[in-house]
């Protein structure tokens, strides 16, 4: 009898553990989810209440969104050995300050200092960038924008 | 905060502060409502120089429509007014002279001023017809990066056609042999005037470098007693893995010698080896003639 009780108890315990593991497995997609057992009244059946207390760990950092803009260069900070930043005026009249990545080439082949040439010529450029965690647009592709906008 | 972030903030602040209108500006700027105005209503100006110092300075202005279209021509007369941001009532005004970068395509206005103090300066361009454009700003430094007028011209040894093939020392696809006969130290030490061109025609051929070198090449035959030297901004040109990156910049353009903040440049050096004129980015043939 004692043995039978022990076996039943063991089965119940293993079942509970298995159920718990099953819950854990399900929670792998939401590791921050907690499970709380509450009993609202002694007569009421035990109810599982799932509460999400914080965002998913895999999505705590915002996913950077790549953007491409076109505009005319209106200011450049830097020299032949490196461009620290530059400002382009967008078609809507707003200005955007951009910081290039290291070793960035203009159109993939030219010196980045060529961006200053666009300040002189007025030829529009495109810039593809990701926004850093500090909110700074970091350019990883830059080049001549299509179309001739010169006139006089 | 990184240096780059600081620099970005600085340049953004410069642009923003320059564009912030004063009461006086707002009364008269940015509203070219007249149908016969020289420029459209959303026109604005930019300063194209990289290296403006205290003293007599030549400022280049670009005029653009809001959508980016470059405006201006010799027929579109403008006056340019500048003042230090701390002394807005001390205004200098002169006529802007239009210079084609590419003939009948696009160009810039130039104007010379006596800039007596470093700091942020504001410029306002007023067309012959229509309202003045919104103000723009430019930074004036106490000492320019590249040699200033009156300073000794640095005289590094530079490659010549006597020691290297043209394709090793220039990206000009039609090089004038006269421009590669002398090393810069030889030219600056022989008691003759010298015109020095720093440019890299192959790597900015769409805009200013090629045309600038062509202007100087066109003028050279008129000045047989002047030495002309073209210095390519990059070296290792025939290396199969060549790329126009800072590691391949020619030593003569770097801080130990000419310390150029941009390219192209033309310098005129007198018989004593002193800088007589400096032209950044754009130069008209008549400007070179006036100096020589």
Beta-ladder partners of A85: A77
Q: Which residue has the higher pLDDT, B255 or B69?
A: B255
Q: A95 vs B16: CB contact, 8 Å cut-off?
A: yes
Contacts of B234 in chain A (CB under 8 A): 111
Contact B274, B150 (CB under 8 A): yes
Segment 143-182 of chain B within 8 Å of chain A by CB: 145
pLDDT for residue A19 is more than 60: no
pLDDT for residue B84 is more than 70: yes
Contact A111, A151 (CB under 8 A): no
The pTM of this model reads 0.76
Examine the predicted complex and report whether its ipTM is higher than 0.85: no
Q: Is A101 on the interface with B (CB under 8 A)?
A: no
Round to whole Å and give the CA distance between B124 and B139. Answer: 15
Q: For A98, what's the count of Cα atoms within 13 Å in the CB-facing half-sphere?
A: 35
B28-74 pLDDT tens trace: 444 455 567 788 888 999 999 989 999 999 999 999 987 778 899 99
A37-91 pLDDT tens trace: 333 334 433 334 444 445 555 556 667 789 999 999 999 999 888 899 999 999 8
Segment 49-78 of chain B within 8 Å of chain A by CB: 50, 60, 62, 64-73, 76
The torsion region of residue B206 among left (phi > 0), alpha (psi -120 to 50) and beta comes to alpha
B165-182 pLDDT tens trace: 999 999 999 999 999 999
In Å, how far is A72's CA from the nearest CA of chain B?
6
Band of the pLDDT at B210, cuts 50, 70, 90? Answer: low
Predicted local confidence at residue A20, as pLDDT = 42
């Amino acid at each position: 009898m004692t043995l039978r009780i022990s076996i039943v108890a063991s089965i119940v315990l293993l079942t509970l553990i298995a159920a718990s593991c099953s819950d854990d497995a399900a929670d792998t997609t939401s590791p921050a989810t907690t499970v709380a057992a509450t009993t609202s009244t002694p007569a009421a059946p035990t109810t599982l209440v799932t509460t999400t207390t914080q965002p998913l760990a895999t999505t705590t950092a915002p996913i950077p969104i790549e953007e491409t803009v076109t505009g005319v260069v209106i200011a450049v900070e830097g020299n032949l050995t490196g461009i620290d930043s530059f400002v382009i005026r967008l078609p809507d009249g707003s200005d955007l300050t951009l910081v290039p990545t290291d070793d960035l080439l203009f159109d993939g082949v030219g010196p980045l200092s060529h961006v200053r040439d666009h300040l002189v010529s007025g030829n529009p450029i495109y810039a593809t960038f990701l926004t850093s965690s500090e909110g700074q647009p970091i350019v990883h592709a830059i080049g001549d924008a299509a179309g001739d906008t010169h006139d006089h | 905060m990184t240096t780059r972030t600081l620099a970005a903030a600085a340049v953004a602040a410069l642009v923003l502060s320059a564009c912030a209108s004063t009461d006086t500006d707002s009364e008269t700027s940015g509203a070219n409502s007249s149908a016969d105005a020289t420029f459209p209503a959303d026109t604005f100006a930019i300063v194209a120089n990289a290296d403006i110092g205290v003293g007599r300075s030549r400022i280049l202005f670009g005029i653009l429509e809001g959508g980016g279209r470059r405006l201006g021509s010799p027929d579109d007369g403008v006056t340019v007014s500048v003042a230090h941001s701390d002394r807005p009532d001390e205004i200098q005004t002169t006529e802007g002279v239009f210079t084609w970068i590419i003939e009948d395509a696009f160009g810039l206005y130039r104007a010379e001023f006596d800039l007596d103090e470093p700091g942020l300066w504001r410029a306002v361009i007023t067309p012959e017809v229509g309202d003045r454009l919104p103000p723009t700003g430019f930074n004036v430094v106490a000492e320019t990066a590249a040699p200033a007028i009156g300073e000794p011209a640095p005289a590094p040894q530079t490659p010549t056609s006597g020691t290297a093939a043209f394709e090793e020392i220039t990206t000009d696809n039609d090089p004038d042999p006269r421009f590669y006969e002398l090393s810069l130290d030889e030219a600056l030490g022989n008691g003759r005037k010298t015109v020095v061109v720093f440019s890299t025609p192959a790597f900015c051929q769409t805009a200013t470098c090629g045309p600038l070198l062509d202007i100087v090449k066109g003028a050279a035959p008129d000045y047989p007693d002047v030495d002309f030297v073209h210095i390519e901004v990059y070296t290792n040109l025939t290396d199969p893995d060549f790329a126009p990156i800072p590691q391949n910049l020619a030593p003569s353009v770097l801080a130990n010698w000419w310390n150029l903040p941009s390219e192209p440049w033309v310098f005129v050096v007198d018989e004593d080896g002193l800088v007589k004129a400096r032209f950044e980015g754009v130069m008209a043939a008549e400007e070179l003639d006036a100096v020589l």
